[in-house]
């Protein structure tokens, strides 16, 4: 009896200590938010990532959105482009609402991508936890009539009703299909188009046009603003080389090597200037100089406002920089870019993940995790839990697993 009472007192003391630690971590976290806050719409150690929250609401310091992600984004910190697609008689799937689901009438779903891209991973949401392991994923290569089973069958649970599925294709896919009994409980399908790895990277150009104190710098093409009109030029959201300096070029250097799926280039949309980008050349330089660079030359008969460039087959090497050149065959030598998106993912060494490969995987048997989330297909190592197998026992830690809050929680972690 005495032993039982002592044990109960010990447990009460432990609970009190945990509560005190939780409050301490919370105050540290809130203090950090107030002292390290970015301008509205941005987050990250150097405020280098753009928020993508529903209804343009501000994001938290880790990029998470209390109101959920905006329509075209999903995944960790809402940083991943959600590729749009079409499908017949499945309004519950097209509405991007995780609360509307299949009524159980079909066990097969086919979707056609609005933009054919190489597939990397998808996120699938169900209304039944038992359905996660009851689906198969297929893709149809562009200009093919035969569906193929995803070469990479790895899965990692996000929560009890959500799973990420890796499907690394070397070719461009135009259709995806899900089948199996799990489809009867399907609610949402998110297809990753990658995240914008170009944002606020180091840019330079052949020359810079200046007017008084105004300058149209190279960095304007990766500032997250997609304005393409004269108003955008006035507010200096576009680049502009000097006509007296010869044919223009623009270059972007990545802080770390990246894997690239596609490019999206915004031209200046005015009669005077749209033609400047006609027949431009795009080059992606490999980290290993023995690899052959990827090159694309525009062959459209007229200039476009937005160019979508999808390498096919997919670029197989790690990329360290890209370059855009005006055409040597055109009379226009000025280069103007209003925004350049490079969709892909940072190339992390095995065992690391995160936007900058700054975090360590915590998977069973020391296995690698998904770079985008830290999710472990083999399961979390002993003592670790959560979407990213962070292993943090406090609720706040699971939601805010980044410096300095992460270290505070690690300090008080009990296995």
The pLDDT tens digits for 66-90 are 999 999 999 999 999 999 999 999 9
Sequence-distant (≥ 6) Cβ neighbours of residue 405 within 8 angstroms: 25, 28, 29, 32, 396, 397
Neighbours of 354 (CB within 10 A): 18
Last residue of a domain, one of 193, 213, 246: 193
- Give the least confident one: 29-38, 63-72, 271-280: 29-38
Q: Is residue 379 part of a domain?
A: no
167 and 208, same structural domain?
A: no
160 and 132, same structural domain?
A: yes
Question: Given this model, what pLDDT does residue 412 score?
Answer: 40
Can you give the pTM of this predicted structure? 0.84
Q: Does residue 34 or residue 292 have the better pLDDT?
A: 292
The pLDDT tens digits for 229-260 are 655 566 678 999 998 778 999 999 999 999 99
171 and 276, same structural domain?
A: no
Q: Is residue 59 part of a domain?
A: no
Asked whether the predicted pLDDT for residue 112 surpasses 60, the reply is yes
| pLDDT interval class at 212 (50, 70, 90) | confident
Sequence-distant (≥ 6) Cβ neighbours of residue 356 within 8 angstroms: 255, 256, 346
CA-nearest of 344, 391, 392, 396 to 371 is: 344
String of DSSP letters for 123-155: EEEESSGGGTTS-EEEEEETT-S--EE-S---E
260 and 186, same structural domain?
A: no
Last residue of a domain, one of 193, 219, 252: 193
CB contact at 8 A, 309 and 343 = no
Q: Is residue 189 part of a domain?
A: yes
101 and 160, same structural domain?
A: yes
Q: Is residue 399 part of a domain?
A: no
Torsion of CA 180, 183, 188, 190, to 10 degrees: 10
Q: What range defines the domain where residue 219 resides?
A: 202-346
Token code pair at residue 153: 């069958």
Asked whether the predicted pLDDT for residue 109 surpasses 80, the reply is yes
165 and 280, same structural domain?
A: no
284 and 266, same structural domain?
A: yes
Question: At 295, which CATH number?
Answer: 2.60.120.260
Question: Given this model, what pLDDT does residue 229 score?
Answer: 65
Last residue of a domain, one of 144, 173, 193: 193
Number of domains in the chain: 2
CB contact at 8 A, 353 and 362 = no
Rounded distance, CA 274 to CA 281, Å?
A: 15
Question: Given this model, what pLDDT does residue 4 score?
Answer: 60
């Amino acid at each position: 009896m005495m032993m039982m009472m002592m044990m109960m007192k010990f447990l009460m003391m432990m609970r009190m200590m945990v509560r005190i630690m939780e409050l301490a971590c919370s105050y540290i976290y809130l203090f950090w938010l107030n002292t390290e806050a970015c301008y509205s719409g941005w987050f990250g150690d150097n405020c280098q990532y753009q928020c993508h929250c529903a209804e343009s609401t501000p994001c938290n310091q880790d990029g998470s959105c209390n109101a959920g992600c905006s329509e075209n984004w999903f995944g960790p910190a809402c940083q991943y482009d959600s590729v749009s697609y079409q499908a017949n008689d499945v309004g519950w799937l097209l509405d991007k609402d995780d609360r509307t689901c299949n009524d159980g009438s079909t066990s097969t779903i086919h979707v056609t991508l609005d933009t054919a891209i190489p597939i990397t991973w998808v996120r699938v949401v169900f209304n039944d936890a038992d359905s996660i392991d009851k689906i198969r994923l297929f893709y149809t290569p562009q200009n093919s009539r035969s569906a193929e089973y995803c070469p990479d069958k790895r899965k990692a649970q996000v929560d009890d009703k959500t799973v990420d599925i890796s499907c690394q294709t070397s070719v461009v896919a135009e259709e995806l299909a899900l089948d199996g009994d799990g489809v009867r409980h399907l609610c949402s399908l998110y297809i990753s188009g990658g995240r914008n790895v170009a944002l606020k990277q180091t840019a330079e150009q052949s020359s810079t046009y200046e007017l008084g104190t105004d300058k149209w710098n190279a960095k304007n093409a990766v500032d997250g603003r997609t304005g393409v009109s004269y108003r955008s030029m006035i507010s200096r959201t576009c680049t502009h080389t000097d006509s007296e300096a010869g044919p223009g070029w623009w270059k972007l250097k990545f802080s770390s090597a990246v894997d690239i799926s596609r490019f999206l280039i915004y031209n200046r949309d005015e009669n005077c200037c749209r033609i400047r980008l006609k027949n431009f050349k795009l080059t992606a330089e490999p980290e290993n100089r023995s690899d052959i660079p990827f090159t694309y030359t525009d062959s459209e008969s007229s200039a476009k406002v937005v160019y979508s460039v999808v390498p096919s087959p997919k670029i197989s090497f790690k990329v360290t920089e890209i370059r855009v050149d005006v055409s040597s065959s055109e009379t226009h030598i000025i280069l103007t870019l209003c925004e350049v998106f490079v969709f892909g993912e940072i190339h992390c060494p095995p065992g690391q993940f995160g936007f900058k490969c700054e975090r360590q995987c915590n998977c069973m048997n020391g296995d690698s995790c998904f770079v985008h989330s830290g999710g472990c297909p083999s399961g979390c190592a002993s003592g670790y839990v959560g979407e990213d197998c962070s292993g943090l026992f406090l609720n706040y830690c699971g939601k805010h697993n980044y410096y300095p809050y992460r270290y505070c929680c690690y300090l008080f972690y009990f296995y």
